[in-house]
Homo-oligomer: A and B are copies of this chain.
Amino acid sequence: MPRSALTTEEIEAFRERITDAATHLFAEQGFEALTMRAIAIEIGCSPMTAYRYFDGKDDIFTSVRARAFARFADNQEAIARAKHADARSKLAALGRAYIDFALAEPDSYRVMFELTQPGVSADGELAEQGLRAWTPLYEAVRACVAEGELAGDPLVHAHLCWAKVHGLVTLHLSGKLQMGAGIGELYDCVIADLLQSVRPVAAPA
């Protein structure tokens, strides 16, 4: 019949090459340099070749985001696997790692959270890696509940912890913070605040 159809592995390999090129271009020269033709040059093929492996540019970008989430999830999972004195210090370590990752790779963090346009499907690889990235923090908070360090709903408190680090990182990366130096102190405080909020507190008004 036909020329031997591409294996699933071959397809996945090519998808990975394209995602690699796109990730590289984005990290190197920013979003507006992420072009179909630029990707094609990087790959060494025609601009239309990518269309056989992706639905279009948005799909490629979604793949880039999923990869960024995957690397972030790897990072968080590694911290979660490491030994910690107790649940609270584990949570603090996860928060530190979260911030460190975002500041070490601001482009990755931006592509994960900032350039999110509505209309992307909630399922697929992106959702899966996003869940992976979120799980360590959630489990750490649940552990704090199990050890009696936390009174309320773990889901609520985990979201609160996430919002604190995410908010500070986002404001920092977009240049909104008014304090030039002393940012380190600010991050210390947000970590301390993470731990403080998981102590039993009076019910909110």
Binding site for B on A (CB under 8 A): 31, 113-114, 116-118, 122, 130, 134, 152-153, 155-157, 159-160, 162-168, 170-171, 174-179, 182, 185-186, 188-193, 195-197, 201, 204-205
19 A-B pairs (CB sep. < 8 Å):
A31-B117, A114-B114, A114-B116, A155-B182, A156-B186, A156-B189, A157-B189, A159-B179, A160-B164, A160-B193, A162-B167, A163-B168, A163-B171, A165-B167, A166-B167, A167-B167, A170-B170, A192-B204, A193-B197
Chain B residues in 8 Å Cβ range of A175: 116, 118, 122
> For the complex, would chain A's binding face be called helix, strand, loop or mixed by DSSP majority?
helix
Question: Which 6 pairs of residues, A with B, have the shortest CB-CB distance?
Answer: A167-B167, A192-B204, A163-B167, A163-B168, A166-B167, A116-B174
Evaluate contact between B155 and A179: CB separation under 8 angstroms.
yes
Evaluate contact between A190 and B168: CB separation under 8 angstroms.
no
Q: Complex Cα distance A6/B44, Å?
A: 53
Chain B residues in 8 Å Cβ range of A182: 155-156
Chain B residues in 8 Å Cβ range of A122: 175
Partner of A178, one of B159, B164, B174, B176: B159
In the complex, how many angstroms separate the beta carbon of A79 from the nearest chain B beta carbon?
A: 18
Evaluate contact between B134 and A178: CB separation under 8 angstroms.
yes
Q: Complex Cα distance A162/B193, Å?
A: 13
